[in-house]
Amino acid sequence: MDIITRFAPSPTGSLHLGAVRTAIFNFLFTKKNKGKFVLRIEDTDQERSTNDSLDEILKSLNWLGVDYDDGPYVQSDRLAIYKEIAQDLVDKNLAYKCYMKNQEIEELKNQAAKEKKIYRYPRTWRDRSDHPDNDEYVIRFKTPDNQNIKFSDTLRGIISINSNNLDDFIILRSDGYPTYNFSTVIDDAEMGITHVIRGEDHLSNTSKQTLIFKSLDKKPPLFTHVSMILGKDKTKLSKRNGSKSIENFKDEGILPIAILNYLARLGWSHGDQEIFTLDEMINLFDISNLTKSPAIFDENKLKWVNAQHLKRLSNDDVLKIIEIDFYKGINVELALSAAKEKVKDTITLNQSLKFCESELVNIGDEYKEDLKAEGTRELIEAFHTDALNLNSFEINEIRKCMDNFLEKRNLKMKQVALPLRIILTGSKVSPSIFEVICILGKEIFSKRIKHYLKS
């Protein structure tokens, strides 16, 4: 059987982490099985759907490298299909037109609330044929009585729900737009979707969708309902407890592969391995290794994963993602190798390499206080003299020079390294002081020290 999966976001806002994680699971599963991954835009909520959200979804998927093989299909372009199938179900007595006014429904809901009962549509129009002319109507599915609705879930086994627990739910609104449960079934059936991996919040929809599949004589896909992502407070992830959009993480210097890696590990595992390349994730992904246990989002862990991927980047790849123009004479290879070892994001990576852009650096007022300690100028001048006597400006030689300098004067490393770092980089964020000196080379090192001593 050819595997066909889909990712079907609604363009009602930014891509949230839960949606991205299910996209990743479907993507990995499809690539592992050499199947087809379909992108479908479910924009039937016309009040909330926007073109800006659609553009952001497409941009985010492209940036993440979650490539789709087919689509994007847009549901609002397919309204005629849904209308035709809904009418066909009416003709077969599997659905019916309901002319109940919104005001009537609201009154029934309010009455149910007063009586502390659960509101259910009273099937007023289920068997009526006295349809008024030119009045608005919705089309409701004719839910069968006392029928066990069964569907299979790869994580949860066979799930059975009695149809008496369901309403005669709407499948087509009065404006001609389908409801989610109807349009998603039509599209899954027409697009030949074989597997659906989605959040467990959709479990309540699956019984309704199973009924619609049956009414169409179509086989449902195999479902996998994965756990929800929770915040550290164990409640549903939201802006309040840490949820951000993919654009937010991009702006904060998180790499696409780090997001793919981290989110894939929220609910999937391969032994104790934490860090994966994309190819490794594709080759190792197994749907049977998904878990239904809640996944806790930890932004610090995401940043740790990001740091590991930054370390793994080749220097050529680092050059592609930073915004630094290296000054002539700078040891670029060492600068890149040293910087990527100590940072957690590309923002800090850029900041730590700013000292490589010019011959001299400016020292901000916020750092000048650190240079005012008694004897600092004399120490810097003395170390400068010792360093210039080195035959080689390699890291090991610079380290020996510093060790000897500290030992002779009975000093601690911080007393020299902190002011020296500020003088040479204009910052407290940089590679190690030995690497900084080596990166600059003897000529630029000396010019920056002399510039400080003259100030």
* Domains of the chain in sequence order: 239-315 (1.10.1160.10), 321-454 (1.10.10.350)
292 phi/psi in degrees, rounded to 5: -95, 0
pLDDT at 429: 85
pLDDT in the model for residue 146: 96
DSSP codes, 4-37: EEEE---SSSSPPHHHHHHHHHHHHHHHHTT-EE
Q: Which residues of 54-77 are buried (b: 16+ CB within 10 A; e: fewer)?
A: bebbbebbeebebebeeebbebee
Say which DSSP state 171 is in: E
Q: What is the pLDDT of residue 156?
A: 93
* pLDDT range class, residue 242, cuts 50, 70, 90: low
Arithmetic mean of pLDDT over the chain: 94
CA-to-CA distance for 136 and 81, rounded, in angstroms? 20
On the CB side of 167, how many CA atoms lie within 13 Å of its CA? Answer: 13
- pLDDT tier at 14, thresholds 50, 70, 90: confident
Residues 346/370, Cβ–Cβ less than 8 Å: no
Better-scored residue on pLDDT, 13 or 188? 188
Q: What is the mean pLDDT of residues 54-82?
A: 96
- Name the token pair of 184: 């998603």
pLDDT score of 15:
86
Tell me what pLDDT residue 140 has.
98
Residue with tokens 């309010």: 110
Query: Are 101 and 135 in contact, with CB atoms under 8 Å apart?
Result: no
Residue 293, pLDDT > 90, answer no
Top-confidence range, 42-46, 291-295, 346-350 = 346-350
Confidence of residue 1 (pLDDT cuts 50, 70, 90): confident
What pLDDT does residue 61 have? 96
Q: Per residue in 380-393, pLDDT tens?
A: 999 999 999 999 99
- At residue 239 the predicted structure's pLDDT band, cuts being 50, 70 and 90, is low
pLDDT at 235: 84
290: helix, coil or strand? strand
Confidence of residue 373 (pLDDT cuts 50, 70, 90): confident
Query: Above 80 in pLDDT, residue 245?
Result: yes
Residue with structure tokens 């994007």? Answer: 72
Residue 240 pLDDT > 80: no
Higher-scoring residue by pLDDT: 243, 182: 182
Cα distance between residue 208 and residue 126, in whole Å: 17
Say if residue 241's pLDDT is above 70: no
